[in-house]
Chain A
Amino acid sequence: MARSLVGTPAGAQDYLFDACGRRREMEAHAGALFARYGYREVMTPAVELFELFARTGQPMPPESMVKLIDRDGRVLAMRPDSTTPVARVVAARLGGEPMPVRLYYLQDVYRDGATHRGRRLETRQAGVEFIGAGGLKADLEVLSLADEALSELGAGEYRIELGHAALFRALFRALQAPPGAAEELRALIERKNFASLGDRLEAFENRPVCEAILRLCHLFGGAELFEETGSLGVAEADEALAYLRDLYAALTDAGLGRHIRLDFGLVHQIDYYTGLVFRGYVSGAGRAVLTGGRYDHLMGALGRAAPGAGFVLDIDALCARAEETRPALRRARRLLHFPPARLREALGLVARAGRDAYELSPCATLAESLALARSRGIAAVVDMERGGEEVPVPGVPAGESV
């Protein structure tokens, strides 16, 4: 019984002390960067109508959503992503705003299932949505912001890989396979399961297209891929390749080429994204910390057709990296013992001395303050009753409490 009262649900956790500071710092940093690019902040409710996600092509399967029922019997969902609610805001609330609009958010998303083995129920994200603009320049803007975000927040080496949703879509259509096979093939490509993909494609007649799909699966790396790939033999796929080549050239011209890679087998959430798709990795993190792409059909599903693109950063994954590469926040170095009448003076001293220099002692006597300092590993007590004399704490070596 006691355990159920004090535990958290699987995949959810508390954040204490330094962890809160790191999260706030990371968010503030991301927010300031987005604002610099002209994005404005929005907050949307944690709970939305279930239909908003179920009927707009949002890629999260219904069983992954955390659902609630309101008193009228309507099904609600804890938002599994923020793009759809932000698009809803643009469709429903910003009708008077001329397009394009640039919006950012710093909020949690909730995803149920697979919470064991370290998956999270609640994930903090920082994201941007650039709605009402399509084409090369809009994609470039979003990508350069993604690059800057990882460069500023990523704590070290990073890569952004680009793909295009039309590559697989066009090749699959040319294959003329039953629609049911799409997800199976997509999953094999996503996992770069070369062996099984080859076996599975044996079943189809259209050999040149099968070969193109197999090649797609192998194609990831740098700019040399454009030469290696040549033509995929399907016009729409070749157009997507040509688009990526232009985009890559423009990124290189803008000085961003160094961190950009290509993965033509990037096929996640293929029904949702309509053009460019991308992911960002930082060294030391086991999965992508940035995910994004172009979703030109989403706004139409909400009744205000417009192109859109955006990305999200995984704040918690970035914080975990920052924790490894940066020292933890400090504890107070001295405990300030003061008589009650001099509270204002004591507070003034703490404020002037700056972060983590002093901690106020709530104790009535110096002896109690010394005992408290010892239990906290603080090396000195500053005693205002004796003119601010610094009393060393017995049993705590000086210099340990930095």
Chain B
Amino acid sequence: MREPLRLALTKGRLETKLLDLLRRGGADTTPLEDKGRRLIHPLPDAGVEVVLAKAPDVITYVEHGVCDLGVVGKDTILEYGQSFYEVLDLRFGACRFALAVREGEDFFGTYRHRRVASKYPNVAGDWFAARGMDVEIIRIEGSVELAPLLGLADAIVDIVETGATLRANGLVPVADICPVSARLIVNLAAMKMKRTRVQAFVALCRAGLEES
């Protein structure tokens, strides 16, 4: 038997969603449902072994080639991604990047110095730069909604699913930046050196997508 591909999978919601997808595609995913203490989980049915990781680490592992494949959100790709192939939109984990401001605030019409808080300073910075807007980006790690409440920022750039958290904190979305969903990414060299196995896994994911 050929050596399995190694897949870096974002822990949490994307993890369960991917397993659902692989099951629909016809693979047995029980080894990952009962994880125990192992760190590398073989999924022989899918031709992969799975490493669970935090989202930015998924990208790091795939870029460095210690993992051949990765499943990670488009948000993380936009913020951290550089060189890998992004071959499939897995469609789950769907949400969007949005700019939200304090209710009643005229964010675009002011000459004041504006500050924007975000967990995604690159995404936010690129979006404002593309519009020729000079704003100061402040990186926040936790609940970004807090920054405008505390008076640290005039607006936030964050991932929005329903908008309920925003509303609860007196914020309103004023611009959509881009849609976000989970993606299958492939290491540059793995795509060339392990082509048949990579294509088999892509086909399995496609089969799962068609079932849903």
Contacts and interface: CB of A to CB of B under 8 A. Distances in A.
Contacts of B188: 281, 286-288
Given A191-B85, A193-B86, A286 B187 contact: yes
B191 A192 contact: yes
Interface string A153-165: 0000101010000
Contacts of A221: 195
A286 B64 contact: yes
Given A191-B84, A195-B88, A287 B65 contact: yes
Interface string A100-122: 00000000000000100110000
B89 to A, nearest CB: 4
A287 B83 contact: yes
Interface string B64-98: 11100000000000000011111111000000000
Nearest to B66: A286
A284 B84 CA distance: 16
Interface string A192-215: 111110000000000000000000
Contacts of B88: 194-195
A281 B191 CA distance: 10
Interface in A361-396: none
B65 A285 contact: yes
B91 to A, nearest CB: 9
Interface string B29-40: 000000000000
A208 to B, nearest CB: 24
Contact of A281 (B60, B63, B193): B193
B86 A191 contact: yes
A261 B189 CA distance: 13
Contacts of A281: 188-189, 192-193
A305 to B, nearest CB: 33
Contacts of B66: 286
Contacts of A191: 84-86
A283 interface: yes
Contacts of B65: 284-287
Contacts of B186: 192
Contacts of A286: 63-66, 187-190
A200 B60 CA distance: 27
Interface in B177-212: 186-193, 195
A263 interface: yes
B195 A195 contact: no
Interface residues of B, number: 22
Contacts of A157: 193
A159 B195 CA distance: 12
Interface residues of A, number: 23
Interface string A288-311: 100000000000000000000000
Contacts of B192: 159, 161, 220, 261, 263, 281
B171 to A, nearest CB: 29
Contacts of B64: 118, 286
Interface in A107-150: 114, 117-118
A192 B66 CA distance: 20
A118 B61 CA distance: 11
A109 to B, nearest CB: 17
A118 B60 CA distance: 9
A291 B83 CA distance: 15
Interface string A260-287: 0101000000000000000001011111
Contacts of A283: 193
Given A117-B63, A285-B65, A286-B63, A192 B85 contact: yes
B86 A159 contact: no
A193 B89 CA distance: 9
Contacts of A261: 192
Interface in B48-68: 60, 63-66
B60 A117 contact: yes
B52 to A, nearest CB: 19
B87 A288 contact: no
A264 B65 CA distance: 23
Nearest to B196: A221
Contacts of A193: 85-87
B85 A159 contact: no
Which of B189, B190, B191 has the most chain A CB atoms inside 10 A of its CB? B189
Contact of A194 (B87, B189, B191): B87
A146 B190 CA distance: 20
A270 to B, nearest CB: 16
Given A118-B63, A192-B191, A286-B190, 10 more contacts: A114-B82, A117-B60, A159-B192, A159-B193, A191-B84, A192-B87, A192-B186, A261-B192, A281-B192, A286-B66
Interface of A: 114, 117-118, 157, 159, 161, 191-196, 220-221, 261, 263, 281, 283-288
10 contacts: A192-B186, A193-B85, A193-B86, A194-B87, A220-B191, A221-B195, A261-B192, A285-B65, A286-B187, A286-B190
Query: 3 closest Cβ contacts across the A-B interface?
Result: A286-B65, A195-B89, A192-B85
